[in-house]
Chains A and B, each alone.
Chain A
Amino acid sequence: QVLLVQSGAEVRKPGASVKVSCTTSGYTFTAYFLHWVRQAPGQGLEWMGWINPFTGATDFAHKFQGRVTMARDMSISTAYMELSSLRSDDTAIYYCTRGGYNWIDASYFWGQGTLVTVSS
């Protein structure tokens, strides 16, 4: 079955960076877009961007451009999201999601989420 397993919770100080991994299994890693979505405590879902695991191409929501990097390692079917210059309002659960053949397709599979806490 399709699984997306994310790395564990992280605590960072303001100004630091965090890198979250998303290890996939049960499907052809390079065939489907991967998105990153975050959810602040008690808040809604916020799309951050996508990566095409086949080409490595990425696109990000405007508010994260310059602060977010997305990458992948095809040899281990794993995607990464790194967010820099962290602020307290970056405290959130970060999800990786598997989309479809196109970036506009729905996210049928989600990781379990990674809590990132930004606190001094």
Chain B
Amino acid sequence: NFMLTQPHSVSESPGKAVTISCTRSSGSIASNYVQWYQQRPGSSPTNVIYDDTQRPPGVPDRFSGSIDSSSNSASLTISGLKTEDEAEYFCQSYDSRNVVFGGGTKLSVL
């Protein structure tokens, strides 16, 4: 199995932008889609980015996803930060038979 490594926490001020990275330990990040989930305290996760870069209906365009093959990582960028974006964010990908989640990144907006 491969691993997806995320920073434990990030923080930024309202109105600014933040980028959360997700690095794949083995296998190409570009070979299998990456999904991103937001989880607010006490709630179930919700999907904010699917298939590397796509936004589900209802997710604001402040959320964007990208892939960088040179660092074998995916990134979630949230621009124009709002206090409501404060949550934990998880990346997820897969290989031939397994679905793997990153450890999660706690975003503080302060």
How many chain B residues have a CB neighbour from A under 8 Å? 24
- Min Cβ gap B51→A in Å is 7
Contact with A along B33-60 (1 / 0, CB 8 A): 1010101000011110011000010000
* Whole-angstrom CA separation of A105 from B101 in the bound complex: 14
* Whole-angstrom CA separation of A27 from B35 in the bound complex: 22
Q: Given A45-B45, A45-B90, A95-B44, are A106 and B101 neighbors across the interface (CB < 8 Å)?
A: no
Interface residues of B (CB under 8 A from A): 1, 32-33, 35, 37, 39, 44-47, 50-51, 56, 90, 92, 94, 97-104
Inter-chain pairs besides A45-B104, A95-B45, A105-B50, 6 sampled, C-beta below 8 Å:
A44-B102, A45-B92, A45-B101, A106-B56, A107-B37, A112-B44
